[in-house]
Amino acid sequence: MTQDMQLRNFATGSVNVYVDCVARFARHFGTSPESLGPEDVRAFLLHLIEQRRVSWSYYNLHLQALRFLYNVTLGRPATLEHLVCPRRPKRLPVVLSPDELTRFFASVGSLKHRASLMTAYAADPTHLGAEIGFLAVLHTWGQNLQHHPHVHCVVPGGGLSPDGSRWVSCRPGFFLPVRVLGRLFRGKFLALLKAAFDGGRLSFHGQLAALADPAEFRRTLAATANIEWVVYAKPPFGGPEQVLKYLARYTHRVAISNHRLIGLEGDQVEFLWKDYADEGKQKRMKLKAVEFLRRFLQHVLPSGFVRIRHYGFLANRVCREKLELCRTLLAALATPRPVGAGLVSEPEWTAERGSEPHICPACGVGRMVIIETFPANRRGRAGRGPAPALAGCDTS
């Protein structure tokens, strides 16, 4: 057996461990392994679990060693073909199970309060052990103006320690357990969907008309609850600047920008849209004006509805002080240039130029960037001048 492992370039430590496992197996029965069969192997493994109460890692190590012995050295692969490695039970670093945690969050009626609880959940030392902050931007439309509500969340990869003395970074490539977040999202979504149905706020038409029956709706909801919902969290490919530029297009615009409107003929409106199901190809769509207005008005938010929300150390009450603390702890610049400032023809200030930078009169710290100037007209009033040339970007 030792020679077979050496021929396969096993490490010396692995060779010694496998030999010890096989020797322990032989001592248990007091005979050579060549004379032992499948039932003997099964009895030995049960002895490890029931009598010695070994860990699953220890159990798997003996199973792998015996597999090598019978499959390779003795040439009897059928001996252990019915034995498989057991799944190692995962110990969750939480007091509550994922299902209990999902039910706990879903029981909180207010979205604001649920976000606060999730922030506290991340502050648990068994997860991240820090106060996180994040911003959420509501986006309700797709390229064809259909109703497609979803929320983009931008979350820094870490947070402030409880005493505020250091920055706690998340592990590379990992922030919070996405499986727990997926079940949490599933529970909240289905609970709110059921509440909307019970409150008579849902209507079903066409192929979905059968869901108007309460029994059919409950069956569909129950089937959906048994499916694992995927939450996909990833670092941005182009860096945080690209993400913020992308989201900035939607903060003060609704559904469609002017450059996508290409024609109005009779009662038909024609506009450009990207078909992401067809490799993002740009296409043209014609709609009746009434249908176009119906789709557009779906995305006009009610008065007082907040499109952008901030939580944790990015919350409006504390963001100024805590962001300054974050920059200090990260050894970053106290007043970084605004994202996208490079798109504007604003010269950098230097002492040789003899001109002072434009300091924000409100905070006295931030640097303002000139977007457009209004030269005086003949009457001495400010008149609108031509806008400076900006780098082109897709604002759809």
Please state the three-class secondary structure of 278-317 as a single string. HCCEEEEEEEEHHHHHHHHHCCCCCCCCCCEEEEECCCCC
Q: Radius of gyration of the chain from Cα atoms? A: 31
Task: Give the angle subtended at the CA of 389 by the CAs of 383 and 393, to the nearest 5°.
Answer: 125
Q: 175-179, 294-298, 342-346 — which one is most confidently predicted on average? A: 294-298
For all residues of the chain together, what is the average pLDDT?
77
Question: Does pLDDT of 95 surpass 80?
Answer: no
For 48, the token pair is 């490890």
pLDDT digits (tens, 9 = 90+) for 289-333: 999 999 999 888 888 888 889 999 999 889 888 988 888 888 754
Q: How many residues does the chain have?
A: 396
Beta-strand runs (E) in the chain: 133-141, 147-154, 158-160, 167-169, 261-265, 268-275, 281-288, 308-312
For 260, the token pair is 């996508």
What pLDDT was estimated at residue 126? 53
What pLDDT was estimated at residue 91? 56
Question: Does pLDDT of 38 surpass 70?
Answer: yes
369 neighbors 344 (Cβ within 8 angstroms): yes
The residue assigned the tokens 């004379």 is 35
- Per-position DSSP letters for 178-195, written without gaps between them: HHHHHHHHHHHHHHHHHH
Q: Mean pLDDT over residues 145-172, rounded? A: 83
Q: Mean pLDDT over residues 141-160, rounded? A: 86
pLDDT digits (tens, 9 = 90+) for 364-388: 666 676 666 666 654 444 444 444 4
Better-scored residue on pLDDT, 6 or 380: 6
**What structural domains and CATH numbers belong to the chain?**
2-79 (1.10.150.130), 98-297 (no CATH), 341-396 (no CATH)
Question: Does pLDDT of 130 surpass 70?
Answer: yes
What pLDDT was estimated at residue 188? 86
Question: Does pLDDT of 105 surpass 70?
Answer: no
